[in-house]
Amino acid sequence: MFRKLFSQAWLAGASIHAAADSKLKTSAVTDTAMPLTLTTSGTFQISIFEDLHFGENAWESWGPRQDINSVRVMNEVLDHETPSLIVLNGDLITGENTYFENSTEYVDQIVAPLVARNLSWASTYGNHDYDFNVTGSTILARERQWPNSRTQQMVFGPQSGVSNYYLPVYDSSCSTWGCAPDLVLWFFDSRGGWLYQTLDNASQKIGQPNWVDQSVVDWFQATSSELRNRHGKVIPSLAFVHIPTNASLALQQAGVDPHRQPGINDDIPLSQQAQGWCSDGSNDAGCVYGEQDTAFMQALVSTPGLIAVFSGHDHGDTWCYKWDTLLPGMSVTGNGINMCFGQHSGYGGYGSWERGARQVFIRQDKLQDLDIDTWIRLESGSVVGSVSLNSTYGHDSYPATPDT
C-alpha cells in the first residue's frame, strides 16, 4: 500500500515538475512580474490555506495518504471559490519528518492544484518549515521555480527569517508598477522550529526564536511610512503571519463569544509568539512567555489602514476578534485591528476538525472604510463563520460556528 501511494505522489510531483520546466522555458517569471489587480468589478478575493503539514511520516502508508487528502481539500475549496490570490500561511511542510534530499519536493505537490488553475500564491513560513533538513530559504528556492509564486524575501538580516515582504494590489486600470496601490498585503516570518543543518556541542538541534524579529519590525515601519509618503495617502492593508501574537491569547482570555466572534475556540490557551522563551532571549523550559513580540504588536497597531492580521498555528481556533482596548497583562493597546485565525487546511498536523480555508473578500468601494468580508469554506462545501469585519464587528450578532 505504501509503495502504491508513494508512487502516486511521486508521479504527480514528477508530472507537475515537468510542466513547470516547460512553462519556465516559455515564460520565465513574467507571470509574477505582472502586478496584482482588483477585478474590473472592483473586488479581490484571497483564499488562505494554512497548516498543510505535507511530508508527515512518509515511511508509513498514512503519511502519503494525508498529503493526498490535503490536495483534495484544496481542490474542493477551489471548486467553490474564485480567489485572486492564494495565501499559504505557514507550516507547509512537517520539517521534522523530512530528509535533506527530498524536503522541498513537497512544494510541488502543494502547489499542483494552484498551477492547474493558473492561480498565483504567496507564502509565509511557519515553525514546522524550519528544521534540520529544511528551512525557509530552501522552500523559497523551490517555490520560485514556479512562475505563479509571488513569495519573496525583502529583509536579509541574520535573524530575520525569510518570508518578509509585501505585495501591492492595484486598480484594474493599472498596467504598470507606477500606480498607487489600492491595497497592500504584508507577509511576516514568525520563524520558530530549529536551525538548519546546525547542531550544538551535544549534537542536538538548536531552537530558533519564534517571533517576528526586530529587524523585520524596523523594515515594516520604514516601508509602510515610505509607501504613505510616496503616494500621499493611507493605503488599506492586510497582514499574514503564521504564529499569532500575544494579543490573540489576551483576547481569548477576555472571552470569545460564539455569536460575536464566531468560530471554533478549542485551543485553550492558544500558543503565541515568544512562547517558551525567556525575556533575555534564552530558550528555557522554565519560561512561559518572553514578550519579544511586543515591538511587532506595537508596529501593527501603529500602522494606519491595517485592517486585519491573519494567523494559523493553533489548529483549533478559527475566530476573528477586534482588538480595541488595553487587555489585562498587555502593554500595547489595540486600535480596532482585527486578529483572525483561519482553518486547519491539511490532514497533517494535530486535530480532527473539518478541514477548510478562510476566504477574505475585498470590495474597492468599502476599502476606505476599512471594511472587508470573510468566511470559511469547508471541505464539505459548506460555509461557516461568515462575518463583516467593519466598524461594528464585535457588537453584531452572527450564527455560532458548529464545532465539527
CATH classification of the domain holding 45: 3.60.21.10
pLDDT value of residue 33:
66
CA distance 380 to 391: 31
C-alpha cell at 334: 489595540
Within a domain: 397: no
Please tell me the predicted confidence (pLDDT) of residue 335. Answer: 97
pTM over 0.75: yes
Residue 362 lies in a domain: yes
Q: Examine residue 404 and state whether it is found in any structural domain, yes or no.
A: no
d(CA 41, CA 364) in angstroms, rounded, equals: 9
Grid cell for residue 169: 494590489
Residues of the chain with pLDDT under 50: 1-32
Domain tally, the chain: 1
Summarize pLDDT for 367-385 with one digit per residue, the tens: 999 999 999 999 999 999 9
Does a structural domain hold residue 399? no
Residue 176 lies in a domain: yes
- The reply to whether 402 falls in a domain is no
pLDDT at res. 367: 96
Quick check: is 52 in a domain? Answer: yes
Look up the domain containing 349 and give its range. 2-389
Q: Report the alpha-carbon distance of residue 182 to residue 34 in Å, rounded.
A: 16
288 phi and psi angles, rounded to 5 deg: -95, -45
pLDDT of residue 284: 85
pLDDT in the model for residue 174: 87
- Specify the pLDDT at position 175: 66
Q: Report the first-to-last Cα separation within the chain, whole angstroms.
A: 30
